Structure 1
Amino acid sequence: MTFRVLGLRSVPAELADYEPTWALQREVHARVASGEIGPQVLFVQHAPVYTAGRRTAAEQRPVDGTPVVEVDRGGLITYHGPGQLVGYPILPLPDRVGPLAYVRRLEEAIIRTLRGYGVESGRVEGRTGVWLDPDAGRPERKIAAIGVRVSRRTTLHGFALNVTAASLGPFASIIPCGIADAGVTCIEHEVMGTPPTLVETMDAITPHLAELLTWEPYETSGFSR
């Protein structure tokens, strides 16, 4: 599996526009699906953008007229921007692995990464992504969103993990992922002590993705309810 870092190690880190990155995803996907190259994971930090999955309703969109990019992934509307680590695994799924099992492995990689920073997270029944329990007057809150597509048995799109506080502000203009009864959070707001940088977070999640996307059996961690 090849991990490709798109501008995150530059100083300062580069912000990638969404649509050229989506075009790159499709190009890489065609090559992986045809067997020309092996599995790839693209890491990126996007310039500010809202993207809407195919089921996004009008009332879930920005109320201020901000442009939205329509995409072909599952899920509803979400935000990408500075302070958020986005990962696009592009890899063939084995015959015995379906899209839901694949999503669970992405969640598991994020849960294990957060645990390494002392942040306990998990899954919520009926909702994709990675969540934190309510505490101290704060509601249940989402720290990572996942939206994927499988075409030619090969994955597209991926996950977005909120790392710094800068990643949260624009969520106030939408109903993130169509969920109105919960909040959003980031590693910076949840970790004790100095929060990790995007690059440190990327380096921390890489071995978990490398292990979990080999499709060997694994033990699920994190709460699930």
Structure 2
Amino acid sequence: MTAPRDPFFPADRSIRASGAPLEIRHLGRMDYQEAWDYQAALAKQRAAEEVSDVILVVEHPNIYTAGKRTLESDMPDNGLPVITVDRGGRITWHGEGQLVVYPIIKLAEPVDVVDYVRRLEEAIIQAVRELGVTTAGRVDGRSGVWVPHTTVAADPAAPKRDRKLGALGIRITRGVTMHGLALNCNNTLEYYGHIVACGIDDADVTTLSLELGRDVTLEEAEVPLLRALDDALAGRLIVADHTFASAPDPGKQAAEARRKARAAHE
């Protein structure tokens, strides 16, 4: 995803309202709803200046979560529960072997949502390249971090099309961020086969383990990811153009599908 305009702040300036160090809280494996409620409580406290910026690190039991733009045709066919959430985007899966990071931070004014998303992407790109996926980058029109189909994964079982390695879904209320990013480490891809993940049916999903041909644990991926995230938010890691392809925006596709559905019922 390339920015439609220059960011509000210089690239080397922090996007955070606070200069205090980030607090990292490891939640272990936690039920999605429980983690969401915890996020919401923290975000309310952060908006009231009762706590400082917090980064939550968590792994969820298998669950689907449906963002605001999810269509009925995206929904799972395997009976796994779906939680409707207040983030952007469409449906995705969370589960064992996936590293999930929720930044609960107050953004500097004026709030720049696009720049925040791009900084999250930059952090993931930096981390996965450090781990060995050196061709990871962006697809213009789609959020997240991708590996191009021209890259041959170390594991022959890996998908062959452009494939998503890291996903984003955010919400910003009163200048405070919620939700965040998910990085596939050593999870199965089975659950993705029962949904139209992120509303995208012309590309695939992958994991660090498949790309590198070895087991990559959450603990191994967490270290470079948290370091890069801190650097990106602070402006020490500069957002660069890592775009290697362009594709239709699934959010716009969902909006158009809803418009047509409403028109058909009028």
Query: What TM-score, normalized by structure 2, do the two folds share?
Result: 0.77
The 3-state SS of whatever aligns with 1:35 is coil
Match of 1:79 among 93, 115, 138: 93
For the 8 Å contact 1:133–1:139, the answer to whether it is kept is yes
Structure 2 residue 231 is the aligned partner of structure 1 residue 211: yes
Q: 1:140 deviation in Å?
A: 0.5
Q: Which amino acid aligns with 1:210?
A: D
**Equivalent residue runs for 1:167-186 within 5 Å:** 167-186=188-207
The Cα shift of 1:223 comes to: 3.2
Q: Does 1:124 align with 2:139?
A: yes
Output one character per residue of 1:12-34: Cα deviation in whole Å (capped at 9) or x when no partner.
Answer: xxx21100000000011011111
Indicate the residue corresponding to 1:48 in structure 2: 62
Deviation digits for residues 141-183 of structure 1 (CA, Å, limit 9, x no counterpart): 001110000100110000010001x342100000100000000
Structure 1, unmatched stretches of 5+, are 8-14
SS in structure 1 opposite 2:49? coil
Indicate conservation of the 8 Å contact 1:48/1:80, yes or no. yes
1:11 matched residue in structure 2: none
From 19, 43, 58, the counterpart of 1:29: 43
Q: For the Cα contact (< 8 Å) 2:231–2:237, is it kept in 1? A: no
Once the 2 structures are TM-superposed, how far is the Cα of residue 216 of structure 1 from its aligned partner?
5.7
Match of 1:94 among 99, 108, 127: 108
> 1:47 aligns to what SS in structure 2?
coil
- The alignment partner of 2:64 has SS state of strand
In the TM superposition, what is the alpha-carbon distance from 1:41 to its structure 2 partner?
Answer: 0.5
Cα offset for 1:70? 0.4
Structure 2 unaligned blocks of 5 or more: 1-21, 153-158, 246-266
Residue 60 of structure 1 pairs with residue 74 of structure 2:
yes
1:139–1:190 CA distance, 2 compared to 1 (3 A) = same
Q: Would you say the 8 A contact 2:148–2:244 is kept in 1?
A: no
Shift of 1:133: 0.3
Distance 2:179 2:198 in 1: 15
2:243 equivalent to 1:223: yes
Q: CA deviation digits over 1:3-50, x for unaligned, max 9?
A: 11112xxxxxxx211000000000110111111111111000100000
Residue 159 of structure 1 corresponds to: 181
| Structure 2 residue corresponding to 1:143, chosen from 165, 176, 179 | 165
Shift of 1:60: 0.2
Give the 3-state SS of the residue equivalent to 1:106 in structure 2.
helix
Change (3 A) 1:36 1:202: same
Superposition TM-score, scaled by structure 1 size: 0.91
Counterpart position of 1:198: 218
**Residue 218 of structure 1, CA deviation:** 1.5
Shift of 1:204: 1.6
User: What is the rounded CA distance, in whole Å, between the counterparts of 2:60 and 2:80 in structure 1?
Assistant: 16
For these two proteins, the number of residue pairs brought into alignment is: 216
Q: Distance in 1 between matches of 2:40 and 2:98?
A: 22
Tell whether the 8 Å contact from 1:80 to 1:167 is kept in structure 2 after alignment. Answer: no
